[in-house]
Amino acid sequence: MKRKIPKILSVALALALVLSFSLVMAVPAAAAATLNVIPFTLEEEGDATANWTQEVAYNGNWSVKMDRGNSDYYAKVVVTSLSMPIDDLNSVSFMFNVKGSLSPWAERTTSGIPQTYDTPYAVLVLDDGSVLVHNNHRVLSNDDIWQTWPDAGDLEFNPATGEDWYPECNKWTLHGSSGDYEGKTKTLEGWKTVLDLGITELKIDFGGMPWEAASEATTGGAESVWAYVDDITINDVTYYGLIQDAIDSASSGDTIIVSDGIYTEDLKIENKTDITLRSENGRDVTTIQPVGAVKWGIVFLPGANDITIGGEAGHGFTIKSAPDETSGYFNIEVRNGNSGIEISHNTIDTTGQASRGISVGTGGATDLTVSYNKFIADADDGSFTNDVWIVDLAMTYNEFTGPATTTDWSYAIEVAGITVSSLTTSTVSNNDITGYNKGIIVTTGEESALDYDGGTSDLLISNNDITGCRRGISLQQRQTTNGDITTTHRSHRILS
């Protein structure tokens, strides 16, 4: 005879199943992270080379490829913006991956001890010109895997004898000092007790020792060896060396904090949402210097929405013109129907080859905020322009400094095809403009975009101070559109 489960037990089992199912289904969202960037300078000696590459990476899409060549020279990664008392440095590490044909060293032994492969290693440059060189620049295996320096290979242990064979490998040796400690070896904590110095640079060196002669190589000749370096970690903070690498690694909700320095790179933001890119100490000490490999210094590609560049006073960037690009170069381009873009508290400098500071191109934009920026322009530059349409624009509290000529084609602001959705009005207000041919141009947009008829409406232009311009505010209609400029208010402006 089948037994019936008591009713109270049936209820308890049902509740337990519901709770278990809820626990399985309730997967917590990933916590927002902070990604840190510090500029890496790449240095080369002789035939040694150091280059950014996307061949392999430990995190993100980029690492530094260091090829020591076949000479007594170094490839180097230098963190020049590191500045701290030696007492404040607690730890240094990085990820590395040694590759290449290592046969000149692979089968050799010394006194029964397996010979080691060279790895990159750390050097600390001190403010009196001396250096601390870390003794760990050997690894016992080359498995073509990412390893942590200085822990890779457990170098104090010799697997052939079962004994310690290099007890000094986790210490630092002082070189270039005129004092009593020249050539001495101590732990970092030991050096802190005798050196009252600051650290000015961290270098990751690779090379400095030529490969053995052909007679000692198992394959009959000296071979090329290279290493990849990624994720330099200082005092338990891991740094990216490129802003682009941090952008590629970022997830929704993340903040990228960029240390002081000059970052020579073009940036693209694609398929990213809710990302904040900000400097640590502001635009006066943090510069993005585009390379000019493409038409735009910073470009927002499809899927880039709710992105902030700057965002707060003291946390923006100076974004400069590419040095060698032909005319038609734009510092920042929003061109793919991106929404929720904020560009604020930056300096956008088009002096040089750039012709546009911020451009809203083919796909238009929605909910665009451009505020508290400083624009600096050359002759014939347009500091802000949009060719097609913007839904919900806030262009406020910017400072525009033009070329101080009224005979060129320069302008501070050109807005075209402005409409509203969530805002009562789009606004161009509280901006200071001086020294352009035209201060503010309001025009109709292109009809071809998203069945848009080209009209401009619900735009408030107010409280702008426009001086030294041939024309203060100009209303225009493009020949390619049938749209109208309607419900546009101009108030409390200063024109002189």
Taking 70 as the threshold, does the pLDDT of residue 168 lie above it? no
Q: pLDDT above 70 covers what percent of the chain?
A: 73
Per-chain mean pLDDT for the chain: 80
This prediction has a pTM of: 0.83
Topology (CATH level 3) of domain 34-234: Jelly Rolls (2.60.120)
> How many CB atoms are located within 10 Å of the residue 296 CB?
25
SS3 169: coil
**Nearest CA-CA partner of 105 in 66, 58, 142:** 142
Topology (CATH level 3) of domain 252-495: Pectate Lyase C-like (2.160.20)
Report the distance separating Cα 40 and Cα 78, nearest Å: 6
| pLDDT for the residue numbered 272 | 97
pLDDT digits (tens, 9 = 90+) for 363-410: 889 999 999 999 999 999 999 998 778 999 999 999 999 998 877 889
Confidence of residue 495 (pLDDT cuts 50, 70, 90): very low
pLDDT digits (tens, 9 = 90+) for 230-275: 999 999 999 999 999 999 999 999 999 999 999 999 999 999 999 9
Average pLDDT, stretch 482-492?
46
**Domain extents in the chain:** 34-234, 252-495
Backbone angles phi, psi at 142, to 5 degrees: -125, 85
147-149 and 92-100 beta bridge pairing: antiparallel
pLDDT digits (tens, 9 = 90+) for 309-357: 999 999 999 999 987 655 568 999 998 899 999 999 999 999 988 889 9
